[in-house]
Amino acid sequence: MTSGWVAPAHRETLNLPADGQPLHLEIPEAHRNQNLLVEIESGGIRRSHLHLHNRMSVRLMRDFGQLQARDAETGRPIPKTYVKVYALGQNGLVSFWKDGYTDARGRFDYLTVNHRKPEEAIRFSLLILHPDHGTEIRETTPPTR
């Protein structure tokens, strides 16, 4: 789909196999290490899928309201990883909760803030970004107390 605002970086028209077998699509080399929105359209039906490239292993420690980012290959902590947190409140509204960076151990406390109580939130959405290790999006609930 092309509009005045957004145009695809890559477009390809494919014919589906006549025998009904799955079609394997290779992501072009130029886009393999990027976050992608893949959109497929056929017969008037359009489907989209968000593909987030990352080399991170993110562990949520829900009982403590913390996460830890590690390199997926080496297992080493990833410091200086940006984390942005939004909360779905008891009132049904989504609001910014907090943001910051992982420490030297790759850890970030996503729960604790001075002006709010964890009981105000039903769910948290976490955006985890690192320039070399990629992006991950996670959702979790507050710790049970």
Long-range contacts at 121-124 (CB < 8 A, ≥ 24 apart): 121/87, 121/88, 121/89, 121/90, 121/97, 122/87, 122/88, 122/89, 122/90, 123/87, 123/88, 124/85, 124/86, 124/87, 124/88, 124/97
pLDDT tens by residue, 56-108: 999 999 999 999 999 999 999 999 999 999 999 999 999 999 999 999 999 99
Express as a percent the part of the chain with pLDDT over 70: 96
pLDDT tens by residue, 100-121: 999 999 999 999 998 888 889 9
Tell me the residue type at 60.
Answer: L
Q: What is the pTM of this model?
A: 0.74
Mean pLDDT of 113-130: 92
Name the residue with higher pLDDT: 7 or 72. 72
Q: Where are the domains of the chain?
A: 56-140
Record the tokens describing residue 27, joined without a space: 């992501």
- Assigned superfamily of 56-140: Transthyretin/hydroxyisourate hydrolase domain (2.60.40.180)
The pLDDT value given to residue 94: 96
Separation of CA 29 from chain center: 22
The answer, yes or no, to whether residue 15 has pLDDT greater than 80, is yes
The pLDDT value given to residue 128: 97
The pLDDT value given to residue 70: 97
